């Protein structure tokens, strides 16, 4: 019997409909170098994804641009037919001309085509959460969000999410369609999206922090993160995840990994209990040296 489980992270009703364990899994690392091409060891990728399910992970985040397409294909290979409680979130809004290259494309025809392609690749009748990977400044905002509303009205997607947006864009989008989630860069070391997180919490919107394990200078020897990790007998990355889970009940971290061992380490972080003193030290990293 497993001694660790993502259930320890608590739960959140995504879009008020899909109840997921808050600690999820992101698939970007299950691709080739430069997030390009298939994962070099697909059998290992399958093992990681299946182990995540065994450990209670119920939210899997992916995108059509990961590979491109190969991460979605591997997810289906590993987990289809999907467990009843499993929720897949995918994204569209980038094209991939080559390894490490990302170009925004928010044209309505592209977003629609990619949503329909993701449905086929993932083997779904409806995508639980479909996210605009980036707002394309060359396309009218209302056209991009309006396309997501149309896809929702047609039953092809259940809920709409946005990525890398500010509060003003969230409010503009919500005037067009309900927004279930926002996915912004946010971690212990990078907190520029604090206002977006606070807005999400106030409005019951899921906040999916990408790059959740970054710790920056906080993990330096003798620093606040290193001290908390030592006290808990944990790694700095585990404390970083525990901090995110403690930060707000709407935070749903989606750390990715291509290693079963690292996956198990990440999930074990869900059970870490930070004290208020720990949280204050990490929240104000220079207050105590």
Q: Which domains does the chain have, with CATH numbers?
A: 6-216+250-273 (3.20.20.100)
Span 223-239, pLDDT tens digits: 889 999 999 999 999 99
Average pLDDT, stretch 9-26? 98
> What is the model's pLDDT at position 284?
60
- Among candidate residues 66, 82, 186, 199, the one labeled active-site is 66
Q: Is the pLDDT of residue 241 over 50?
A: yes
Q: Is the pLDDT of residue 191 over 70?
A: yes
Residue 212 and residue 208: Cα distance in Å, rounded?
9
- 186 annotated active-site: no
Hey, which residues does 185 pair with through a beta bridge?
Answer: 210
Q: Give helix 236-247 / helix 260-268 axis angle, nearest 10°.
A: 50
Q: Considering only CA atoms, which of 59, 4, 71, 69 is closest in space to residue 31?
A: 71
> What is the model's pLDDT at position 3?
76
Beta strand ranges found along the chain (DSSP E): 11-14, 18-21, 25-26, 59-61, 87-92, 94-95, 103-104, 127-132, 157-163, 179-183, 206-207
Q: Give helix 167-174 / helix 141-153 axis angle, nearest 10°.
A: 50
Residue 289 and residue 285: Cα distance in Å, rounded?
7
Task: Give how far Cα 109 sits from Cα of 67, 251, 252, Å.
Answer: 21, 32, 30
pTM, entire model: 0.95
- Least confident span in 173-177, 210-214, 218-222, 272-276: 218-222
Q: Is the pLDDT of residue 54 over 50?
A: yes
Q: Is the pLDDT of residue 133 over 60?
A: yes
């Amino acid at each position: 019997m497993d001694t660790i489980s993502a259930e320890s992270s608590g739960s959140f009703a995504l879009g008020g409909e899909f109840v997921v364990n808050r600690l999820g899994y992101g698939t970007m690392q299950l691709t080739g170098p430069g997030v390009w091409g298939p994962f070099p060891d697909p059998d290992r990728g399958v093992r990681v994804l299946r182990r995540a399910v065994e450990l209670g992970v119920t939210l899997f985040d992916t995108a059509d641009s990961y590979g491109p397409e190969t991460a979605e294909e591997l997810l289906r290979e590993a987990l289809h037919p999907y467990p009843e409680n499993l929720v897949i979130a995918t994204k569209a809004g980038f094209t991939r001309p080559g390894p490490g290259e990302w170009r925004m494309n928010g044209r309505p025809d592209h977003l629609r085509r990619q949503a329909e392609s993701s449905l086929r690749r993932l083997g779904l009748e409806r995508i639980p959460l479909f996210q605009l990977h980036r707002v394309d400044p060359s396309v009218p905002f209302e056209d991009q969000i309006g396309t997501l509303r149309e896809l929702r009205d047609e039953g092809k997607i259940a809920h709409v999410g946005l990525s890398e947006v500010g509060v003003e864009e969230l409010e503009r989008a919500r005037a067009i369609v309900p927004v279930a989630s926002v996915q912004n860069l946010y971690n212990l070391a990078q907190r520029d999206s604090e206002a977006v997180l606070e807005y999400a919490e106030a409005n019951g919107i899921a906040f999916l922090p990408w790059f959740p394990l970054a710790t920056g200078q906080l993990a330096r020897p003798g620093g606040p993160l290193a001290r908390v990790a030592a006290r808990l007998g944990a790694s700095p990355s585990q404390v970083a995840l525990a901090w995110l889970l403690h930060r707000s009940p709407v935070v749903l971290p989606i750390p990715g990994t291509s290693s079963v061992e690292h996956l198990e380490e990440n999930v074990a972080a869900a059970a870490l209990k930070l004290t208020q003193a720990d949280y204050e030290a990490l929240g104000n990293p220079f207050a105590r040296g």
